[in-house]
Amino acid sequence: MTRRIQSSSAEETFAIGQRFAQYLQSGVVVILTGELGAGKTTFTKGVASGLGIEKPVTSPTFVIAKSYRTKHNVDFIHIDAYRLGSIQDIRDLDIEAQIDNAIVVAEWGEGFFEMIGNLIEVKFEIDSEDSRTITMLSNDIDVESMNL
């Protein structure tokens, strides 16, 4: 299943992330791909907001992963896989042991997290300075019926 959405601003990308969050539950892994500056972290901040996380969410580039608690008492694990070099690096994060009570959003996670949980891939394309095409793909979750 595939869903394409246009965003014309960072604020709109954030709001799409907020609405997307209502469809997420434990066991979901969201892999974000796209160029630097395409909107991955802005979208992730929107997801965190939609999950009721009040702490500031920042990109975990240097620590690789940050965990937050949602309003539904589920862990929200935000991963920046840009610096990961191997599958062993993923194993060291022990995501598989946590996935039953977690929602994972992995920036640059392509090639690392596909076999863990119910997968949604979200691809960000820069159309212009303010415009983005956000494409959601999943064989596990019906992204086409999401009201975003």
Residue 121 phi/psi, 5° resolution?
-100, 135
Summarize pLDDT for 9-29 with one digit per residue, the tens: 999 999 999 999 999 999 899
* Residue of 43 and 102 predicted with greater confidence: 43
pLDDT computed for residue 119 by the predictor: 86
Quick one: 19 exposed, middle or buried, by C-beta within 10 A (0-12, 13-18, 19+)? Answer: middle
pTM above 0.75, yes or no: yes
Region 3-7 average pLDDT: 97
- For 52, other C-beta atoms within 10 Å of its C-beta total 14
Summarize pLDDT for 67-120 with one digit per residue, the tens: 888 888 899 988 887 666 555 556 666 666 566 788 999 887 676 666 666 889
Region 50-65 average pLDDT: 78
CA 92 vs CA 58, 65, 84, 89: distances in Å: 21, 11, 11, 5
Q: Identify the structural domains of the chain with CATH numbers, from first to last.
A: 25-125 (3.40.50.300)
pLDDT band, residue 145 (cuts 50/70/90): very high
